[in-house]
């Protein structure tokens, strides 16, 4: 049976995101195709940010979907090494310390990660 929830754009199946896993995908946002960073935390919640580093506006991955992590699990920008915690996307070390990634609202419905706040 279909539901109105299905109107939200599907980004990836939830199964594509293992716990504590990072994933890259593209989505149409405000008329532009943007690269997104998806993160599923160990408790199962999914967060997303634009794949744009606040330091110099570059992508954070060194190849599509290939992200660097610190020894303690933070996301490290492959360009100049800015380090971001994954609870909020705040930069905790490196050239843009104190800045943060731009969050994109996502939700999980019917086993799919979807764009938007959900209902």
Residues in touch with ligand FES (CB under 6 A): 53, 55-56, 58, 77, 79-82, 94-95
Between residues 56 and 103, which has the closer beta carbon with respect to ligand FES?
Answer: 56
Identify which of residues 77 and 104 has a Cβ nearer to ligand FES in the complex: 77
Instruction: State phi, psi for 11 to the nearest 5 degrees.
Output: -95, -60
Between 8 and 37, CB nearer to ligand FES = 37
Question: What is the smallest separation between the CB atom of 22 and ligand FES, expressed in angstroms?
Answer: 15
Neighbouring residues of 40: CB distance < 8 A, sequence distance ≥ 6: 14, 17, 18, 19, 20, 21, 23, 46
- Give me the least distance between CB of 68 and ligand FES, in Å please: 11
Which DSSP symbol is given to 51?
S
Nearer to ligand FES, 53 or 115 (CB): 53
Closest by CA to 84, choosing from 116, 61, 113, 107, is 61
**Are 47 and 70 within 8 A, CB to CB?**
no
């Amino acid at each position: 049976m279909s539901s109105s929830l299905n109107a939200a754009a599907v980004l990836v199946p939830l199964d594509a995101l293992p716990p504590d896993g990072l994933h890259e995908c593209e989505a149409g946002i405000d008329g532009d195709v943007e690269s997104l960073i998806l993160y599923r935390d160990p408790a199962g919640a999914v967060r997303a940010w634009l794949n744009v580093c606040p330091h110099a506006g570059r992508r954070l991955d060194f190849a599509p979907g290939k992200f660097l992590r610190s020894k303690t699990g933070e996301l490290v920008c492959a360009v100049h090494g800015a380090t971001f915690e994954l609870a909020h996307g705040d930069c905790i070390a490196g050239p843009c310390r104190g800045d943060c990634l731009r969050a994109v609202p996502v939700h999980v419905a019917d086993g799919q990660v979807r764009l938007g706040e959900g209902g």
